[in-house]
């Protein structure tokens, strides 16, 4: 059994986080688990020079930050960068990576580490055609759908189906899937019918027909002529979450420098402005939540009665 070491949270880099999928619902469940039970399983990090690159345990680390822990238990590996990425597959053998996560990982090995598709197939013990399909999936999925996927607005199965569409048409149909709460079968049929439609008029009919499906399990349809203040705030929050998810997907996809010097400077300037806005918004949200909101959050995060905290039991691992 690997021994673990207690390491400061700020010492762990999360450059590989973009290769994993974590919806808000999944993260909230992990937040509650760590608050109630402590850390039962050490995270995995790879030592690359002076850096410790997190390989597995992104939701646990995020939960630890939310709980304001100073340290976490870490198994430290010493692997080449490409080998460390492959370890993401091995460490999740009991909880298989989704097709999308496999696709992101393969694209990173191919684009960032320079591995050939035959070599990747050999490492995954798969046929070259399997690698090629995953690579096409990663590069065929639009930024908007990837953002919706990270926000939990569409499932990984739905995203894989939407990836069959031209990139420019994916966002519109993804919004429909999320708003109407379409099932995987309904989404598959929607994409099949859209692709089979001979012209734009027929594609519009397909979209309108799909808009009548679903049982209201998706995003609420807000078609009132006059909206209340509550409805406007909910709409603003929804739009901000969508745009934030899309921005996150693009930032994780490639480093700023890859856009060229001029573009990178412009993006960095705008990011600094956004950072200031978000820094001001945080305290405002806290103030708006007030005591009642904090009580509700506290109930969700509080450890169960009689359980030890991470501070009192630093070597209790989950």
This prediction's pTM: 0.68
pLDDT bracket for residue 93 (50, 70, 90): low
Q: Give residue 202's pLDDT.
A: 94
pLDDT bracket for residue 291 (50, 70, 90): low
Work out the average pLDDT over 38-66.
Answer: 93
Higher pLDDT, 297 or 105: 105
Calpha distance 193→180 (Å, rounded): 17
Higher pLDDT, 187 or 153: 187
Long-range contacts of 47-50 (CB under 8 A, 24+ apart): 47/76, 47/77, 47/78, 48/81, 48/84
Whether 316 shows a pLDDT value over 60: the answer reads no
> Phi and psi of 51, rounded to 5°?
-95, 150
Whether 299 shows a pLDDT value over 60: the answer reads no
pLDDT bracket for residue 77 (50, 70, 90): very high
Q: Give residue 310's pLDDT.
A: 44
Q: Give residue 296's pLDDT.
A: 57
Q: Which SS3 state, helix, strand or coil, does residue 113 take?
A: coil
Whether 18 shows a pLDDT value over 90: the answer reads no
Fold of the CATH domain 1-97+255-318: 3.90.1530
Number of neighbours of residue 31 by Cβ within 10 angstroms = 21
Whether 166 shows a pLDDT value over 70: the answer reads yes
Q: Which SS3 state, helix, strand or coil, does residue 265 take?
A: helix
Percent of the chain with pLDDT over 70: 84
56 CB burial (10 A radius; 0-12, 13-18, 19+): buried
* Token pair in block for residue 53: 């690159």
Calpha distance 110→99 (Å, rounded): 16
Q: Give residue limits of the domains in the chain.
A: 1-97+255-318
Q: Give residue 295's pLDDT.
A: 55
Higher pLDDT, 60 or 24: 60
Could you tell me if 80 and 44 are in contact, meaning their C-beta atoms sit under 8 angstroms apart? no
Give tens-digit pLDDT for 215-269.
Answer: 444 544 444 345 577 766 777 787 787 778 778 877 877 788 877 777 788 888 8
Whether 303 shows a pLDDT value over 70: the answer reads no
Whether 271 shows a pLDDT value over 60: the answer reads yes
């Amino acid at each position: 059994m690997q021994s673990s070491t207690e390491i400061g949270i700020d010492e762990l880099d999360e450059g590989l986080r973009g290769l994993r999928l974590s919806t808000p619902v999944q993260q909230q469940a992990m937040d509650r688990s760590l608050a109630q039970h402590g850390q039962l399983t050490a995270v995995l990090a790879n030592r690359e020079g002076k850096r410790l690159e997190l390989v597995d345990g992104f939701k646990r680390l995020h939960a630890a930050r939310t709980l304001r822990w100073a340290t976490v238990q870490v198994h430290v590996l010493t692997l080449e960068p490409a080998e460390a990425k492959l370890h993401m597959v091995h460490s999740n053998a009991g909880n298989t990576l989704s097709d999308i996560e496999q696709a992101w990982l393969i694209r990173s090995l191919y684009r960032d580490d320079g591995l050939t598709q035959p070599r990747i197939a050999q490492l995954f013990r798969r046929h070259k055609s399997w690698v090629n399909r995953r690579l096409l999936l990663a590069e065929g999925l639009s930024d908007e759908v990837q953002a919706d996927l990270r926000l939990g607005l569409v499932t990984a199965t739905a995203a894989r189906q939407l990836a069959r569409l031209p990139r420019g048409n994916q966002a519109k149909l993804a919004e429909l899937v999320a708003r109407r709460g379409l099932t995987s079968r309904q989404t598959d049929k929607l994409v099949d019918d859209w692709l089979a439609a001979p012209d734009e008029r027929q594609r519009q009919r397909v979209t309108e027909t799909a808009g009548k499906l679903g049982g209201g399990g998706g995003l609420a349809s807000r078609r009132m002529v006059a909206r209340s203040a509550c409805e406007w705030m909910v709409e603003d929050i929804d739009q901000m979450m969508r745009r934030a998810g899309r921005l996150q997907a693009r930032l994780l996809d490639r480093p700023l420098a890859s856009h060229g010097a001029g573009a990178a400077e412009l993006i960095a300037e705008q990011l600094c402005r956004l950072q200031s806005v978000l820094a001001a918004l945080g305290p405002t949200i806290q103030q708006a939540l007030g005591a009642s909101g904090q009580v509700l959050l506290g109930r969700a995060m509080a450890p169960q009665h009689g359980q030890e905290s991470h501070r009192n039991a630093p070597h209790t691992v989950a």
